[in-house]
């Protein structure tokens, strides 16, 4: 008898076919008549992406064995509540590393060369032949990048920055990456050193109690007034009011953001009003190819657990010590 699973979003056809070959599939979305609590009753596994799984969500989950999230991050999952229910969690790292690294480079170039604001400038019909310095941005090549959080994505960013743009890279991480230092000639630094020396500060940390609000007013004051801040990690790692102040008062030159404290961001948020703050709607992994690979990875994780096999990507908290 096949296990029963709950699917909570539209999935690529090949992923649905894979799941149907191994499971009986039920479907639920936030627009359904039933609640997620009711939908989880009588199912063995669930695939989610951003839907909160907590004690309340799990209240009627009488058979659930696995929650498979189509994401690297899992802050929407209450790990302790899941453990109390005997439910394991899986996620989808690695498959999106290159795609997110590509976006970080796009954010850096877009902010430095003012791509979005100058696109709007041209389309508004205001471009005059006498315009010269009003169109200036900042160079990227041969500058110094500082990465806070040297994980798999950080390594891909380093490869692009050093090989493609001849950048010098310094990094801060909980643990030194001596292999990366040997491979690409990057240097380890304290956060304070990194902030004060880097021309581009890239934040790539997970959201934890120690990283929440990591980039605060003091951090922005340490940065160069010609520096650009880039966040492609989690919105809550940044004090947004402090960031606005830093840009408006010339403490830093600009910023580029893929993530925000509240998503979708409020239309009246001042982050959206400043021409030197580039904003995109949390699109780090948003390509058809990568999202399909992520969905298949999540499906393979789910099926493995339901067949009493070790999932390729268990969330670390559920790994056997």
Q: Where are the domains of the chain?
A: 4-95+288-318, 97-279
- Select which of 114, 172, 234, 293 is catalytic: 234
Closest CA to 21 of 316, 321, 306: 306
- Quick check: do 4-95+288-318 and 97-279 share a fold? yes
pTM score, whole prediction: 0.93
Q: What is the pLDDT along the chain (321 residues), one digit of tens a residue?
A: 899 999 999 999 999 999 999 999 999 999 999 999 999 999 999 999 989 999 999 999 999 999 999 999 999 999 999 999 999 999 999 999 999 999 999 999 999 999 999 999 999 998 999 999 999 999 999 999 999 999 999 999 999 999 999 999 999 999 999 999 999 999 999 999 999 999 999 999 999 999 999 999 999 999 999 999 999 999 999 999 999 999 999 999 999 999 999 999 999 999 999 999 999 999 999 999 999 999 999 999 999 999 999 999 999 999 886
Contact yes or no for 272/241 (Cβ under 8 A): no
CATH topology of domain 97-279: Rossmann fold (3.40.50)
Annotated active-site residue 293? The verdict is no
Q: Give 138-177 pLDDT, tens digit per residue.
A: 999 999 999 999 999 999 999 999 999 999 999 999 999 9
The reported pLDDT for the residue numbered 237 is 98
Residues 6+ apart with CB under 8 A from 117: 275, 276
CA distance 300 to 48: 14
Annotated active-site residue 282? The verdict is yes
- Select which of 37, 263, 289, 310 is catalytic: 263
**Residue 172: Cβ within 10 Å count:** 19
Q: Could you tell me the CATH superfamily of domain 4-95+288-318?
A: NAD(P)-binding Rossmann-like Domain (3.40.50.720)
CA distance 20 to 4: 10
44 upstream amide cis, omega within 30 of 0: no
Angstrom distances, CA of residue 134 to CA of 110, 127, 318: 16, 10, 54
């Amino acid at each position: 008898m096949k296990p029963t699973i709950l699917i909570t979003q539209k999935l690529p056809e090949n992923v649905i076919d894979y799941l149907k070959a191994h499971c009986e599939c039920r479907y639920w979305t936030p627009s359904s008549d039933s609640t997620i609590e009711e939908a989880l009753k009588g199912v063995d596994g669930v695939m989610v992406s951003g839907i909160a799984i907590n004690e309340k969500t799990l209240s009627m989950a009488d058979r659930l064995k696995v929650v498979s999230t189509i994401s690297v991050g899992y802050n929407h999952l209450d790990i302790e509540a899941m453990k109390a229910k005997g439910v394991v969690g899986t996620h989808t790292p690695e498959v999106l590393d290159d795609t997110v690294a590509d976006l970080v480079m796009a954010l850096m170039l877009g902010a430095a060369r003012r791509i979005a604001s100058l696109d709007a400038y041209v389309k508004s019909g205001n471009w005059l032949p006498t315009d010269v310095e009003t169109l200036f941005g900042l160079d990227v090549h041969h500058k110094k990048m500082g990465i806070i959080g040297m994980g798999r994505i950080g390594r891909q960013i380093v490869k692009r920055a050093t090989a493609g743009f001849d950048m010098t890279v310094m990094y801060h991480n909980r643990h030194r990456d001596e292999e990366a230092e040997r491979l690409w000639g990057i240097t380890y630094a304290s956060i304070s050193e990194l902030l004060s020396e880097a021309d581009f500060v890239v934040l790539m940390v997970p959201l934890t109690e120690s990283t929440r609000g990591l980039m605060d007013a003091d951090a922005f004051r340490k940065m160069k007034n010609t520096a650009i801040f880039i966040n492609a990690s989690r919105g809550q790692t940044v004090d947004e009011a402090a960031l606005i102040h830093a840009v408006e008062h010339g403490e830093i030159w600009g910023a580029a953001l893929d993530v925000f404290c509240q998503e979708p961001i409020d239309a009246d948020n001042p982050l959206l009003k400043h021409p030197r703050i580039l904003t995109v709607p949390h699109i780090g992994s948003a390509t058809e190819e990568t999202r399909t690979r992520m969905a298949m990875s999540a499906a393979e994780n789910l099926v493995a657990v339901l067949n009493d096999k070790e999932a390729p990507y268990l969330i670390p908290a559920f790994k056997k010590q």
